[in-house]
Chains A and B, each alone.
Chain A
Amino acid sequence: MGKDTIVCRCEDLSLEEINSWIEKGYQTFDEIKRVSRVGMGPCQGKTCRAHILRLLAEASGTPLERMHPATFRPPVKPIRLGTIAGGDRDD
């Protein structure tokens, strides 16, 4: 895995970019999310979260299980507005 390896595929963020935010002092997934958009895309962190938590844990010397994973919010998978509103083709 090199510095150009894409960690967040939704927002196209590389390992180097994530590490630069950690080096700037951002300590939690939530903080990095707010400045870089990591975890804000369609996968909502399903791909990148575990990896970034490990990077943060290593950088701060904190055991991984004590890292805050950030809030999980609905929906679990993307849903069309029309489906939620009703009147969709599966009515």
Chain B
Amino acid sequence: MIKSSAQVVIIGGGIMGAAIAYNLARKHCREVVLVEKNYLTSGATGRCGAGIRQQWGTEMNCLLSQKSVKIFENLPEELDYPAVLIAFKQKGYLFLIYTGTEMELFKRNVALQNRLGIPSRLVSPREAKDLVNHLNTEKLLGGAYCPSDGHANPFHVTQAYAKAAKRLGVNVFTNTGVTGILKDRGRVAGVATERGVIKCETVVNCAGGHAGIIAAMAGISLPVYPERRQVMVSEPVDRIQDPMVISLTHHLYIQQQPHGPFIMGMGDPNEPRSFNIKSGWRFVVETARAVCTVLPPLKDLRIVRQWAGLYDMSPDAQPVLGESPEVKGFYTAAGFSGHGFMIAPYTAKLMAQSVLGEKPEMDIAMLNYHRFASGELVLEPAVV
């Protein structure tokens, strides 16, 4: 049976929901309930490219990812979960620079990152080739590289957070869709689910691409919308590539997983807003062409599967965090725009502090959604 009341109800069983549940429970928040429509990691977390990078173009994204990397480094100990399953590896991220405009962008980004203590640097085409031997340096002006970027296993990181949360008393209900948000005099009064109503005064919306639907149930117009991103993976081969290779020119990212397969994805600038997560054929052809151009020896890799998931896009590609000014007790952690997994550990910590009425250790007031009304957006430029 579902709980009839709770102090906090978290909606969404991805990395963000699980990590916020854990952080709330760790701070002795009583009666935390997490509800998930399907199963843990059934949404964007379980479909993501698994990359973790600190090379961002806005200070907020840089700080959230930098602090999250520090948490990832000690996550197996913190959550008492096997390091071999969390599989956090720092093999770096190499951005490829093909145009003067990109060079200017990465010079600015690297300067910002270095000011914040992120050890990124610009590299020459020759250095880029030393980092990735099978790289085609034709037309390449250079790269931006950060050795402490990397990747981890999104399935097990989420399981690790959920298990630790359960040990601290959090109740997790999967196969439990949310059907409504109850309100009383301008504040949250409960969450209606497929398995009954949970009375509560605080809700955290971690529904990813579906966050807009959940917000609408509370009468809130949240500027977060779903957008399909496609990914494909190869058969496992011997390890030849350490860093994630990423090119804004080609909208391409490609990395080799610890056990051998290459994972690659490509953003389509013309992708419409929708909940579609079907596989498209054009994506496969365009990605294959880009990979064969950028990393020619990979032409012999065999693709075994393509899939798709939803980015929860926000207008400036920075997350939307904080309590709604319109409905008291309604908190949002969404709009991650394709980089939720990598910034989840620290974001969840800040969200837990905020939900419990503490002053978050890093000021995230500027990430609340009313920023979009003022129109003064700091647009994150480095999104694929």
Contacts and interface: CB of A to CB of B under 8 A. Distances in A.
Interface of A: 27-28, 30-31, 34-35, 37, 40-42, 44, 71, 73-75, 78-82, 84-87
Contacts of B281: 74
Given A34-B41, A75-B304, 5 more contacts: A42-B235, A75-B306, A81-B292, A86-B289, A87-B292
B378 interface: no
Contacts of B300: 80-82
Given A35-B155, A74-B281, A79 B235 contact: no
B39 interface: yes
B303 A75 contact: yes
Contact of A84 (B39, B46, B303, B307): B303
B306 A41 contact: no
Chain B contact residues, majority secondary structure:
mixed
B304 A42 contact: yes
Given A34-B46, A78-B302, A73 B307 contact: yes
A35 B300 CA distance: 29
Shortest Cβ-Cβ A-B pairs, 4 listed: A82-B299, A78-B302, A84-B288, A85-B288
Given A28-B39, A34-B155, A73 B306 contact: yes
B298 A81 contact: yes
A40 B155 CA distance: 13
Contacts of B305: 40, 44, 73-75
B39 A30 contact: yes
Interface of B: 39-42, 46, 155-156, 159, 233-236, 259, 279, 281, 284-285, 288-289, 291-292, 298-307
B96 to A, nearest CB: 18
A85 B279 contact: no
21 contacts: A30-B42, A34-B41, A34-B46, A35-B155, A35-B156, A35-B159, A41-B235, A41-B304, A42-B302, A44-B305, A73-B305, A74-B279, A74-B306, A81-B292, A81-B298, A81-B302, A82-B288, A82-B292, A85-B285, A85-B289, A85-B299
B302 A80 contact: yes
A52 to B, nearest CB: 16
Contacts of B42: 30
Contact of B285 (A37, A44, A84): A84
Contacts of B259: 37
Given A28-B39, A34-B46, A79-B303, A84 B235 contact: no
Given A30-B39, A34-B46, A35-B159, A81 B306 contact: no
B115 to A, nearest CB: 39
Given A74-B281, A85-B289, A80 B299 contact: yes
Contacts of B302: 42, 78-81
A81 B279 contact: no
Contacts of A75: 284, 303-306
The winner among A75, A81, A84, A85 for most chain B CB atoms within 10 A is A81
A87 B288 CA distance: 11
A72 to B, nearest CB: 10
Nearest to A78: B302
Contacts of B155: 34-35
A85 B292 contact: yes
A81 B291 contact: yes
Contacts of B39: 27-28, 30-31
Nearest to B295: A81
B304 A44 contact: yes
Contacts of A37: 259
A81 B156 contact: no
Contacts of A28: 39
B159 A80 contact: no
Contacts of B233: 40
A78 B304 contact: yes
Contact of B303 (A31, A78, A86, A87): A78
A35 B279 CA distance: 23
Nearest to B303: A79
Contact of A81 (B46, B236, B288): B288
Nearest to A75: B303
B362 to A, nearest CB: 31
B280 to A, nearest CB: 9
A9 to B, nearest CB: 13
Contact of B279 (A40, A44, A73, A84): A73
